[in-house]
Amino acid sequence: MTNVTTGEDRAAELRNRLTDELIAAGHISSAAVEAAFRAVPRHLFAPGVPIEAAYARDIVVVKRDEHGALMSTISAPEIQALQLEQAGIRPGMRVLEIGSGGCNAALIAELTGPDGHVTTMDIDPDVADRARACLDAAGYPQVRVALGDAEDGLADGAPYDRILVTVGAWDIPPSWTRQLAEDGRIVVPLRTKGLTMSLALEREGDHLISRSQQICGFVKMQGAGAHDGHRWPLVDHKVSLAFDDGNLDDPRKLDGVLTTAPAAAWSGVTARRGELLAGLLLWLMTTLPGFCTLIVDASDGDPGLAVEPGGRWFPFATVDGDSFAYLSVRPTGEDVVELGAHGYGPHAKRTAEAIAEQIRVWDRDHRNGPGPTYTIWPIGTPDEALPAGAVIDKRHTRVTVSWPHAAQPARE
């Protein structure tokens, strides 16, 4: 009995400490989400994991594939808090969670209360069975666990006041909108051009519009909604460019590009080391037609991408025909860096300068602004019905990303 009591006391201590940290960091802002985090025994959803790790500000691995890649996790607590705050769940609501680990469903159940209805679903029977067992052990037998493909949603139980997607989605399937209550809200980590934003989406006529957005990361969706994009190696498979939306017109133009001399371009814009520049990344994504992700395998050593002494490169790039460039920084003072780019290819300088110029525009027009609005339109929506901004076509939808108070980027 003493050991049991001691273990429960330790769990409560860690749970309250974690909640206090999330409040101090601004991840929890409402009393309801705070109460949920203080109530849910997170460690019971991480059997076999040390109790300290269960309450750490990190993911808990649920399942990997045969290659060691993550297939299912318990999300980091700050990501859970972010989505729950975005969702604005109230007592008595009907909620569908897509992507199950059990822990988040328990948090949702605390928010909906005894009169609410919570369903958590997953495509993987192992993950669903584990969630069921953990929910029962933690005292949440009322949460329904369902097996199914996210692409189809779950008609049995619709309409839902809230749909929370806790797996990285590339598109918004029509089933989610059909199964959403008229005044409902979808919270989804939507991936566009390699950047994942947790969007709180509400219905407005025939489309969905974002009420808030925050950069994040999630395990990619499986099943019919899976999307791998295109990946083009530049040096064997050690350095590659990945296109989540769109593709290269002629990948052969980049053959041997990394054997050319690099060229740098600097913007004159500075930032603190470690500063989160999510707004800049979104701006580059929407203004650079060749925006893509730079993937580097450094397991056999540094592949030798150009950087200034004391600087570093970032995994965000753009392609201009036979040349490409990536975002980079160089130190300019204690804890201060200048933003710029390094380019390779016959037009290395021009391509790097394109990034530097957009950094300057972002700094001038958007750095301290509200950020863009995402709007999700049916795939057949004609161009003339779309708002000004970048347009990203997917399988089921056309996503527009619109920035306020400045000239809008050209459509692709």
d(CA 280, CA 233): 26
Amino acid of residue 191: R
- N-to-C CA span, the chain: 66
* Residue 157 three-state SS: coil
Contact 136, 105 (CB under 8 A): no
For the annotated catalytic residues, the residue numbers are 75
- Helix, strand, coil percentages in the chain from 3-state DSSP, rounded to 5: 30, 35, 35
Q: Which two tokens stand for residue 25?
A: 């960091």
Residue 330 has phi, psi (to 5 degrees) of -135, 145
39 and 110 in contact (C-beta within 8 Å)?
Answer: yes
Q: How far is CA 360 from CA 167, 193, 270, 363, 412, in A?
A: 34, 21, 10, 5, 22
- Cα 113 from Cα 91, distance rounded (Å): 5
What residues have CB less than 8 Å from 124, skipping those under 6 apart? Answer: 63, 71, 72, 222
Q: How many Å apart are CA 313 and CA 329, to the nearest integer?
A: 7
Residues in the chain: 412
Give, as one character, the DSSP assignment of residue 346.
Answer: T
What SS3 string covers 279-316?
Answer: HHHHHHHHHCCCEEEEEECCCCCCCCCCCCCCCEEEEE
CA dihedral (117, 118, 124, 130) positive or negative: negative
* Rounded Cα distance, 258 and 357, in Å: 23
